[in-house]
Structure 1
Amino acid sequence: MLHKIVLCLCLAGFMSSSMAAKDVTADQKKLAQTVFELERSVAILQLSTASLGDYQSLSTKMAHVKSLEYRVNFLGNLTFLLCMSLVVFFFRLRHQQKRLAALESRLDRQEIGAVNKDD
Structure 2
Amino acid sequence: MLYRLVLCVFLSFLASFSMAEQMSAEDEKKLAKTVVELERSVAVLQLSTASLGDYQSLATKIAHVNALEYRVNFLGNLTFLLFMSLVVFFFKLRHQQKRLLALEQREIEKSNQQESKDVK
TM-score by length of 1: 0.68
Q: Quote the Cα distance in structure 2 between the aligned partners of 1:29 and 1:109.
A: 76
Q: Taking structure 1 as reference, are residues 85 and 114 closer, same or farther at Cα in structure 2, changes over 3 Å only?
A: same
Long gaps (5+) in structure 2: 1-22
Question: Are 1:84 and 2:66 matched, yes or no?
Answer: no
RMSD value, Cα: 3.0
SS in 1 for 2:50: coil
Deviates more, 1:61-70 or 1:24-33: 24-33
Matches within 5 A, 1:9-88: 37-88=37-88
Count matched residues.
98
Q: Quote the Cα distance in structure 2 between the aligned partners of 1:91 and 1:52.
A: 58
C-alpha offsets along residues 38-62 of structure 1, whole Å, 9 cap, x if unaligned? Answer: 5433332221111110000000000
C-alpha offsets along residues 8-31 of structure 1, whole Å, 9 cap, x if unaligned? Answer: xxxxxxxxxxxxxxx999898877
% identical equivalent positions:
73
Q: Taking structure 1 as reference, are residues 25 and 79 closer, same or farther at Cα in structure 2, changes over 3 Å only?
A: closer
Give how far 1:104 is off. 0.3
Question: Are 1:101 and 2:96 matched, yes or no?
Answer: no
